[in-house]
Chains A and B, each alone.
Chain A
Amino acid sequence: MLLFVSVSSKAKIKGLEKIDRLFNTYANSSFGMIDPEGIEALCSDLGVDYTDVRILMLAWKLKAEKQGYFTQDEWQTGLKALGVDSLSKLKKALSDLEKEVEKPSNYEDFYTYAFRYCLTEEKQKSVDIESICELLNLVLGVQFRPQIDSLIEYLKVQNDYKVINSDQWINFLRFCKEISFPDLENYDAIQAWPLILDNYVEWMREKHS
């Protein structure tokens, strides 16, 4: 009986060992965590560009708190949840991860996470327009190409807002999902849409009149 326990715990330890070893490959020894350099290295080993959305998804899966860094805890928990302990397994898991994220029950969580991930300063509540545009493109660009392209064009042109808060962010997704495009027929500014979207719709309607 003892043997059985020790075997499984040995297996556990062994599994954890591999994960830790992988961690140490990329971690910065003086910080004790994987820093942006390490992530870049990881990406190149995975054959993925470090601006690829799948890295963001990995961060989401790892529940990484700080952008550009993975702590050991996050790494361990994340890779265990993915069920991987090697680079090749991790590579395979990335495509599965995409499907997992796209599940409706996860998508909103991932979308909200993407915004939070950009709040790099303490007490930061909003993200600058430039970064938002990149993020929108990365996260929603594939699924809602025409809306996102148009919205990004507007965000760059307008002067009313220099930053976007989390409420406006979440409503971008709602907008793409609920509003018919490009006619925008079912958009009603009287409703609770954030003002920035009211302005966007006005701008669109003027452009096409």
Chain B
Amino acid sequence: MALPLTRCCRQASVLLVARRWCTSTSSPVAPATLRSSPVDPATLRSSPVAPATLRSSPVAPATLHSRLLLFLSQQFYDIDMFLNWSSRWKHGSLRRKNAYYAYTQSLYGENIATAYYILCMKGGFRYVSQSEWFRPGRWGRLNWDFLNHRETLIDEIDMSNTLINYRGMDNLVGQTSLRTLSLRGCPEVDDWSLTRLHEFQDSLEELDISHCPHITVGGLSALSHLKRLRRLDISSLPGLSSPGLVIILLEEMLPHCLITATGYDLSLRPEGGKMVEQGQRSDRGRVLEGSG
């Protein structure tokens, strides 16, 4: 196990040396000289040159802060690895939350599994024949009445501000009689999730995808499958670069649909300081009736 040993020696010597050489500009090429193997470009490459030059006073010893930064900059790849672990853990936890609820489905059937998934993600739903919404209570307490409705289909789903993503849509696509879906403000909903909406093409009438940061025009073109869509809300999508044009194209694509698109500045920008035309202001929404 020569690798950890050399790394140990390197760390020890660096700390020793750093205490003495407080005046040096940091250049972590030196650790490579401590390796037993001959120095070749690949080894040197693995210890990157730190961009920041840590300079402290020529006479006083370096502070713990600057020594710590010097140490960290020399362990760039290790820090990279730790940060990768943390981002992988985050992705993994999101994936676990959105996994397919196969166990619930095998015990109670698909409708219960969908209902349980929605409640676990802190969303809400309403059954076809009933008028009350099922939502998780305070501190995640669930009203377990939904277990009585094994065969009832879900009419409306409200997943606004939840962490639903592409994998989570697996849990919802079984609901073929869904009429309203709200994905407002979901940070993980992107174009790929929108492509899964084609499973609801025969029933979905209302869709709300406003305030989702990852949706772009490439995903909106996948909404053409939803033939029964009557109301679509695409307000405040930061991923749209030319919202006015996209709204017009969507209206052409979905002629029977009422498109709500507030939160965009649709005025024509003047070029060179000359005002060409004043369009609508951003506070008023632009709601158009499609031709029936």
Partners in one complex: no
Chain B residues proximal to chain A, CB less than 8 Å: none
